[in-house]
Chain A
């Protein structure tokens, strides 16, 4: 093959393209980086302001509000255990990273999902991009992210957003599509505008699906924390990464368990939030 056809210099093209982007949009990327970094840091500062026990209680109350007493209790114990292990601050850094990336994934992802549910053309174009975002090894977009945003929390955050956004988009679209056809007909027959149909019927009915998407996004974002730590994002991921490089099994397991605890807490809370109050019956 190699002798018959000249090899196309794809890699060179991409490098040139990235260089060009950095040259032209450098200031813009710097601006984005500053903004994102500030957001994450603000999150960390806010959560670090109250004593750890008080924050654990606040989280537990939030869990109670969104889900059940049982999950609230688990949340309290889980957070206190992490505090006891001495990973409180890295845990907060990780949580800030995850929450920021998921918030951005929702802000961008839900409207895109709605758009895709309304326009066939949008769906045709965006679906393969989503496939790409999910299957491309995460390390690959860490490299250009470093070029664009330098080492630190931001490239990790961006990689998390890219990796975590597709489920929110897909499930939003799916949820809106799955609203029964006769309900759509009913909204049309009464003379709803497109926005009225979306806001009053389709999106409320798609809420369980959208929440399932958010839940998936949170899980995927958590799974990125170790990788993000490799480009300098601080948090529990960094502890795991250090344990790996230093072959410290004990520390590795400890931090791993801490990550899993956070994952379980976030998962249970968001699962319940999606299920709540659907026409007075569980759905």
Chain B
């Protein structure tokens, strides 16, 4: 470890808040990012000599803002006079700035920064990529690697996404309660997409991409520290913690998928599970169940079972029933069918699957579940058809291999 190894995490930790505050000052993402970059360079020179500042984020905001103002003044000497709209709060000193950071204003700054990444016209993967670049500060190379595309392609994607973001008008006033709730919703969905991208890769060789899951959890914790009473953010964080806790057990040594029932539960991360269970309990106090909370509650039932046969499938079925009302979706029903098969048998579950045939005609897991239920009922020929359809829809090698294993077992 080098002498200044602590600076990396310190900069990474301060980044969301610092870039968010700089975005509010300059109302321009590029200027904000450049300002943070410049402040980081100065930190690398100053911090090893002077030690870490008491409040790294405040230091970076102050230094970044001043350097960007200098830069703007330099440019404006050649162009035109400085525009007061572009340089608000120019007279603020550091003390006033720090005071402001203590207030609740920066909650909305960070939320806004996350929110501008969630442009509805951008494809989900681009929203995630741009959030990883701007909010988390991952390098283009790291993001490209995570998404298994070339660095040049990812750079182009991010540039395009940023242009779309610059063109959209985002309100810089402090949001009202309704708008804040909407923003939180949108941002939560983006964070969950990021997690899912890591949890179940949408393509390529790697089936699980741990860094993406960890980054999603980091963002959820960040959001929850800013909005500690938001039960759905608690639910989101709990859901991801409980699912990610199983990461080490989800693939075997050769990279094959290990289903929940067959996982070695000693490999589960029990610290993450404990944290997830606490958050589920905390969220339930609020008494307004949301979709993340319900999904987390289901994950909690699994996490509490020491052995697969201890799983309270009846409770899982009940929670899915509530989820079906709150968020009707064929995928939710498909998942409920798995619980139903455990409580009332495969025939009842298969019945639940019938209306899903059309909406889930292109869904890998639909055919995987259908095949497994048919197999259980001893209808091997129909099971084979379903498994073959699943293989055709598999997105990763691990998914395909898992179904092939099921097919092999059918033949025996």
Q: Are A and B genuine complex partners?
A: no
Residues of B within 8 A of A (CB): none
Residues of A within 8 A of B (CB): none
